[in-house]
Amino acid sequence: MAEDLNSEIKLSELSTQAGVPPRTIRLYISRGLLAGPLRGGRGAVYGKEHLETLHKIRDLQAKGLTLKEIAHVLAGEGPPEGLPEPAAWWSYRLAPDVFVWVRGDVSPWRSRQIRGALARMTAEISPDEEEEGNDGHRR
Amino acid sequence: MDTDAETTAGVFMPLSAETGAPCELAMQELFLLGKVLPVGAQLLVRHTFRSAEKGPVEVVYSFALPRDAALRRFRVTGKGFSIHSELRALKEAQELYEKGIEGGHLSVLTRQYGDGLVNLNLGNLRPGEEVTVYLEILAGVELRDTGLRFRFPFTLAPSYHAKAKAIEVEPGQGEIELPGEEFGDIILPRWVEDSQSLHRVGFDLKVSMPGGIAEVASPSHPLRVRNKDDSSTQVSLATAGDLPNRDLVLDVRARGALSETFAGVGKDGKGRFAVVVSSDKFGKTTQAPRRVVFVLDRSGSMEGVPIQQALRSVDACLGALSSDDEFGIVAFDDKVALFQTAMVRGDAEARQRAKQFLTGISARGGTELLAGLLEAHRLLAGHGGDVFLVTDGQVFGTEQIIQRLKAGGIRIHCLGIGSASQDRFLSLLARESGGVSRFLTPRERVDIAAVELFSSAGRPLASDLRVEPKGLPRAGILPSPPGAVFQDNPLVVFGATQGEGEGSLEISWHAGQDSKTLSIPIHVGEDGPAGMLRLLQGSRIVTDLETQLGGHGEGAAEKRMESRVARALEKASFEYGLACSLTALVAVLQREGDRPGELPKTRVVPVGMPQDVRFLSYFAVARGVVACELARASDIADREPYSVETSLSPLLARRARRLSNEDVLLELATQLEPDGGLPGGTEEERVIGSLAMLLLLLSEGHTPQQGAFALHVQRILSYLESVGMSWADQDQRKMIDEALCAAKQGRPVEGDWLSLACAYRKNGKITSKRLWKELRAAAEP
């Protein structure tokens, strides 16, 4: 019985022990990161596994995972390790009907080379723009 | 507050874009009410929450405070009840809220975090229930000699922090998570690329200016304006509802220069006053040489129209430099790039090279604003000078940035560009460092505003400013007024006194070597907005202290200082009845049928991605599991690509092809030689071109004393007065002299100067015959 009392705690105690505010715990439960209380309604209680999960969430956050990723890990859908490294891409609109994607981490000289080529291509494929007035201005 | 307006303003119903059926949102509507004065605004924000869930819900709505803002109180209403908030110390308020939640009671808590972010929590909203929270906020306005700009954030700008994690959690929906050790338990909203399905926003505001209102306009929303009398106007949204994807921006132009005194005696028997003194009372800007470093934000969030606008702005400001000035350029994202490693003279050759440097800049990466500003500080190398910062200000951890820079002692002028406000941060950064700030939307003419702001950088009208009340019993000034006044930026002073009385505000300052004084009479009578003045004064004091709280010093002395600031902040919070990050507003209502212990589901209200900020600029580099999803070829094919280089909206693209008068002026302004004249093959060509530009400037309302191009007018005048004109005959000399006389008086001369200026722009010279013909025609009676 004494063991039960120790392992069943109220939300406020869970919050104190885990160092996570009650509002955040409710958010985790709503997002499916943490299971709901062991008993609902008046006198809702939480167990040791809640505390462990909260510690696990904190550890995974410290490793740089977002809550979305942590949800995947906790759901047993496999850690994000082993996935291909993400890459940033720049998108250039050369014309209304032509877009070109260029990898964002290319070296500066390569970037200049590509941009130069894109500028030439833009000039070649651009549709004729609306002509300016004689003076090139609007009255 | 205006309770009539609370009940009469419209109610919206968000509809699904696909089915047209009402959306089941936790928050249905956000409606802004209140009044705006030149010294600040007293606002009432109506939040309507409705639950479509089967069990109790805890709704969390996150929002950003406007400039100089503080929360005063809230009222919660629903079927058969109405309760008011109490201001409590933070810990106490949180405990009350948690106890309320645990007891199954309706509980509401507003808590302020760093960066002026607020979480409004509404717990135990019952199934099918509708509850309205009226939140009262005091806020500042951006003041100019000619009027004011009021800005209210209807969405929250996503921002950069080196330790933040940004991720696209669903297609078109992104989340940002901040490190808890630095930002506490703040809950940020989900950013939604398409805000069509979100809650609706609207507004109905009373705007008052004792001296009379000449015009009310908005670059952000369609307006319906109902004039009440000469000095007040009711301004509301012209359409049935709008989307939460940008700030409300209201421009109110006054009749004449804005110099007003507001005063009155409050219920506590204390007299309150606020004095606005237009900058023209402090003299005129001089052409003293200056040292300026342009700091340009080229982070990913600036991508598209904002970076184009920022580049045009710096380009335009370069044209206002003379060879006596020194300048530098720093461009930053998560790396810092320099135009030159030291300050350079503002001659034509250096300006040309600077333009070349600007052409190589595009938006990318994070926003290491502090690194950029510290580099500017290094460039100035302790020899004094000003920083001209062009940014969207989208960074978290702003208090730390402000404290670091304040310690560095550099004066920062901020030009903000963005549709979702970081106005609070930039106005604080400028004020704390002794500079001035402007915040524009990307759809405005930012370059002209930049030239206008830049004309005052490094050239205060008044330095070593001192302000003292005289003749009023036990009067005091708080918060401390700024040490300098800049062109087009009025001085605003708040103060309190013991009851009614007659007195004055004695202002003294230095203008160059001269000492000057000014006396402003103050009459504190029974009538007057004393209550509002007290709250606005309090919200300024609380905001200033809040900024000082973010120093995060490691040493014992810093910690003692921070502790002192915290005590002062908490004291001010309770004295003025305004919440801060150390206090909070809370209300708990026990009702029949409350179900203690039942766990409410948390629902975080999503907000719209700010208009003109690309969703992918924050959420493009998805990580981990989501990276896999994003990397699928089909997803990329379905996603509309975005553009770095040519992403101007069709409207702006059209404008880029068809030059406006301002475009022509800006282009010519950047060509001015160090002596103030336009370039040319011969002296005659230079004079003819410069004269045509001068006459165009005059016709557009720019004089040596006023307008964005005032400095340019002065420089051209100075050139034309000093240059030899042996080539001109007597008749031509006479016409030139008359034109110069008109220019000095700020009097426009009739003629088609635009055509001539355009011809110069196109060919690099003008046929003098055309100029003489226009001048002769103008001289004819």
Do the Cβ atoms of B102 and A11 come within 8 Å? yes
- Reading the block at residue B195, the tokens are 């805000």
Hey, which residues 59-118 in chain A have their CB within 8 Å of chain B? 61, 64-69, 72, 77, 80, 83-84, 86-94, 99, 101, 104
Q: Which residue of B has its CA nearest to A111?
A: B360
Q: What ranges do the domains of chain B cover?
A: 3-153+196-255+580-608, 260-283+465-576, 291-456, 659-779
Nearest to B98 among A22, A86, A132 (CB): A22
Residue A82 has pLDDT above 70, yes or no: no
Q: What does the pLDDT read at residue B11?
A: 41
Q: What does the pLDDT read at residue B334?
A: 84
Task: Give the pLDDT confidence of A8-62 residue by residue, as tens digits.
Answer: 899 999 999 999 999 999 999 999 999 999 887 777 899 999 999 999 999 999 8
Show Cβ contacts of residue B508 under 8 Å, excluding neighbours closer than 6 positions.
B465, B466, B515, B516, B517, B518
Show Cβ contacts of residue A102 under 8 Å, excluding neighbours closer than 6 positions.
A89, A90, A91, A92, A111, A114, A118
Q: What does the pLDDT read at residue B192?
A: 93
Task: Give the pLDDT confidence of B715-766 residue by residue, as tens digits.
Answer: 899 899 998 888 889 999 999 999 999 999 989 998 889 888 888 888 888 8
Find where tokens 């402007």 sit.
Answer: B438
Do the Cβ atoms of B185 and A93 come within 8 Å? no
Q: What does the pLDDT read at residue A106?
A: 67
| Most A CBs within 10 Å, among B183, B361, B602, to test the A interface | B602
Per residue, the 3-state secondary structure of B580-634, as one string, reads CCCEEEEEEECCCCCCCCCCCEEEECCEECCCCCCHHHHHCCCCHHHHHHHHCHH
The domains located in chain A, with CATH, are 2-74 (1.10.1660.10), 89-125 (no CATH)
Task: Give 3-state DSSP helix, strand, coil % of chain A, rounded to 5.
Answer: 45, 15, 40
Q: Cα separations (Å) of A7 from A17, B599, B722?
A: 12, 19, 91
ipTM above 0.85, yes or no: no
Hey, which residues 342-401 in chain B have their CB within 8 Å of chain A? 364
Q: Which residue of B has its CA nearest to A132?
A: B658
Q: What does the pLDDT read at residue A87?
A: 62
Residue B515: burial class (beta carbons within 10 Å; 0-12, 13-18, 19+): exposed
> What's the predicted TM-score (pTM) here?
0.83
- Architecture of the domain defined by B291-456: 3-Layer(aba) Sandwich (3.40)
What is the average per-residue pLDDT within A117-137? 62
Q: Which residue of A has its CA nearest to B656?
A: A137
Say if B173 is an interface residue toward chain A (CB within 8 Å): no
Q: How many CA atoms lie within 13 A of B623 on its CB side?
A: 19
Q: What does the pLDDT read at residue B201?
A: 96
Q: Which residue of B has its CA nearest to A11?
A: B102
Do the Cβ atoms of A136 and B177 come within 8 Å? no
Q: What does the pLDDT read at residue A107?
A: 64
Give the residues of chain B that fall short of pLDDT 70.
1-24, 550-553, 620-659
Q: What does the pLDDT read at residue B632?
A: 31
Q: What does the pLDDT read at residue B553?
A: 66
Q: Give me the CATH code for the B3-153+196-255+580-608 domain, please.
A: 2.60.40
Q: What does the pLDDT read at residue B645?
A: 32
Query: Rounded CA gap, B73 and B109, in Å?
Result: 11
* Residue A78: pLDDT band with limits 50, 70, 90: low
Q: Cα separations (Å) of B731 from A128, B529, B728, B737?
A: 47, 62, 8, 10
| Most B CBs within 10 Å, among A30, A54, A68, to test the B interface | A68
pLDDT > 70: percent of chain A: 75
- B657 vs chain A: nearest CA distance in angstroms? 7
Do the Cβ atoms of A136 and B762 come within 8 Å? yes
Are β-strands B86-89 and B213-217 bridged in parallel, bridged antiparallel, or unpaired? Answer: unpaired
Is the separation of the CB atoms in B305 and B649 below 8 Å? yes
Q: What does the pLDDT read at residue B505?
A: 97
Q: What does the pLDDT read at residue B640?
A: 35
Show Cβ contacts of residue A23 under 8 Å, excluding neighbours closer than 6 positions.
B58, B60, B98, B121, B185, B187, B602
Query: Rounded CA gap, B606 and B254, in Å?
Result: 37
Nearest to B645 among A61, A68, A92 (CB): A92
